[in-house]
Chains A and B, each alone.
Chain A
Amino acid sequence: MAASAAALTLPLDRKARREEDRELVRLSQSGTESAFEELVRRHQQRVFALVGGILRRPEDVEDVAQQVFLKAFLGIKRFDQRAAFSTWLYKIAVNECWDYLRKKKVRPLVYEADLSDEQVSRLDGIVSAERPPEGPNTRAEARELLERMLAALPEQDRQLLVLKEMEGFSVQELAEILDLNVNTVKVRLFRARGRIMETYRRRADAQSKAAGVAAAQKKG
């Protein structure tokens, strides 16, 4: 999936895909169901990523993603192709996520924004390594720690960061999907990155000071 996401970011490839999308949209508008099915196949991965990035509730992602494509199908005849199909589709996805959260009266899943001493130690190992060890355990661990750190952020900053760094959306795409200025997205990303480390740094500092005091007491 990471490989396909990387391929999507190549400008030439994107341009070609956009042209293919245009043709598929035209066919879908004239009632060819197989063309719409192809559009679903081409965009399902990113819609999943987007919905997953906003809801952070794996159990709800598939249902909402299906609803997104259903709405797109019902509205495709009115889509005038002035924007890219993907942008239009992702906007439907964002609105659908917010509708879903509003109807269910739930907030996206967030953890307590605090870390235990043990978590800080583990995080130190992951963050400080220039090339952190990769593997399912490290990934799961990083994910768990990250969820806690993300809780310190306002909702929209958290979404921006998750969609950019974890789900592979570009700044340009995020600006279009969320109706924000590109520079605003960049600045908010930079600040959000710093803020999520705040929890970790504070805990790490406290831990280090406590260790220093303990060592001094032992000496004394």
Chain B
Amino acid sequence: MSTTWEFRKGACKEYELLLEDYLNRALGSAETAAAEQHLRACAPCRAAFDNAAASARLMRLAGPSEGPGPAFARTVMARIRAAEDRVADRMGVWQPLVRFGWRFAASATLVLGVLVTYDAGWVRPAQRDLNGTRVTAMTDIFAPDPGKAPASRDEVLMMEAEVTHGN
């Protein structure tokens, strides 16, 4: 490779994809022929392709980074178990509180249900008469006592006199 190479800014845009596939030997025979034909005819593309091929060679030579040691999987599993234990411990501290919370919520729901049922009047049948009409539970203090109602005009006058003169 000559060091008097003149760098040009890239290949023809419409050929970049084809040349990348050509570099990776991922083309069929017809496309390979088309790529080769273009490379023969186009100097910037040829230069770009030489560049790409050289860098690919260099990168393959550099090789992959180091892999994990033989104990890696065991270390990962140990870390996972430790994390699970931590979660279990954390749950252990809060578990009684969580259980109490659930019980409290269940009791509260039950009590609320009973109260709502009571308020709906299911447990107060005495407040309804046999015909289903509603009767008032309170007595009217201003209503006349039927036992003390005057029977004649004289009795009315007598009652008036009692009220006016105080007994």
Contact = CB atoms under 8 A, between A and B. Distances in A.
Interface of A: 1-2, 5, 33, 36-37, 40-41, 44-45, 48-49, 52-53, 58, 61-62, 65-66, 69-70, 73-74, 123-124, 126-128, 132, 134, 138-139, 142-143, 145-146, 149, 161-162, 165-168, 171, 183, 186-187, 189-191, 193-194, 196-198, 201-202, 204-205, 207-208
B28 to A, nearest CB: 16
B67 A49 contact: yes
A74 B81 CA distance: 11
Nearest to B9: A194
A151 to B, nearest CB: 14
29 contacts: A1-B64, A2-B63, A5-B64, A33-B80, A37-B73, A44-B67, A45-B68, A48-B67, A48-B72, A49-B67, A52-B66, A58-B65, A62-B72, A66-B75, A126-B61, A134-B61, A142-B61, A149-B58, A166-B59, A166-B64, A167-B64, A190-B52, A191-B10, A193-B56, A194-B10, A194-B11, A197-B51, A201-B7, A207-B3
B20 A166 contact: no
B60 interface: yes
Chain B contact residues: helix, strand, loop or mixed: helix
A132 B57 contact: yes
A167 B60 CA distance: 9
Contacts of A208: 3-4
B149 interface: no
A160 B92 CA distance: 46
A91 B59 CA distance: 24
Contacts of A165: 55-56, 59-60
B126 interface: no
Interface residues of B, number: 42
A127 B1 contact: yes
Contacts of B24: 171
A128 B1 contact: yes
Contacts of B60: 165-166
Contacts of A48: 65-68, 72
A34 B51 CA distance: 47
B58 A70 contact: no
A53 B77 contact: no
Given A146-B58, A190-B20, A70 B64 contact: no
Nearest to A201: B7
Contacts of B48: 190, 194
A194 B51 contact: yes
Contacts of B52: 190, 193-194, 197
Contacts of A36: 77, 80
B135 interface: no
Contacts of A123: 58
Contacts of A5: 64
B39 interface: no
A205 B4 contact: yes
Nearest to B82: A70
